[in-house]
Amino acid sequence: MRTGKLSKHMALALALSMFLGLGAGAKADAQEARIAAVNSDRILRESSAAKAAQSKLEQEFSKRDKALQDMAQRLKSMSDNIDKNGPSMAPTDRAARQRDLAQLDADFQRKQREFREDLNQRRNEELAAVLDRANKVIKQIAEQQHYDLIVQEAVYVSPRIDITDQVLKALAATSQTGGASPN
């Protein structure tokens, strides 16, 4: 056994136990650490801010989505027409229609890829804004209710320390009042 030097694991365990007030030198009247957890996935699914962001994105991208659906329908019609009438067409006419179809398909693929990239970028921006607002609310709750630690990502969280519902309510209140502090 090594004396005088602690292993990293033992030092971490000792530091954690002292933080939680369990160390051998802890005062009898030391307060227990207040710890809570928040489920970020639920915030991004259920919060009014996240739902508003989703609606905003749907509205922003609906015209482009409709245009892509129309283009896909034109592609299908052209392809069906070539399949149906191709054998009776003159070879040069059939080749010209197939070139037009290939050009429209390439254009469709490019526009579809651009649409997905733009949508993903805007979604990431909107979700980052929602998380930023949520983090501000979480910090306010921590300060008001004297939490020592609030975690957002954990393997397991006891319902006893889960404050996600409280954060969702506070986020909804700040959305309605334009940013007033939560209860």
CATH code at position 139:
3.30.910.20
Query: 16 in a domain, yes or no?
Result: no
Range of the domain at 85: 32-177
Query: 8 in a domain, yes or no?
Result: no
How many domains would you assign to the chain?
Answer: 1
The four Cα atoms 118, 119, 121, 126 give a dihedral, to 10 degrees, of 140
The kind and range of the H/E element at 150 are strand 149-151
The pLDDT, as a whole number, for residue 26 is 45
Tens of pLDDT along 31-84?
688 999 999 999 999 999 999 999 999 999 999 999 999 999 999 999 999 999
Residue 12 has pLDDT above 50, yes or no: no
Query: 45 in a domain, yes or no?
Result: yes
The four Cα atoms 23, 24, 25, 30 give a dihedral, to 10 degrees, of 50
Query: 25 in a domain, yes or no?
Result: no
pTM score of the predicted model: 0.68
Query: 115 in a domain, yes or no?
Result: yes
Residues 6 or more apart in contact with residue 144 via CB below 8 angstroms: 181, 182, 183
Query: 2 in a domain, yes or no?
Result: no
The pLDDT, as a whole number, for residue 28 is 43
Query: 3 in a domain, yes or no?
Result: no
Query: 1 in a domain, yes or no?
Result: no
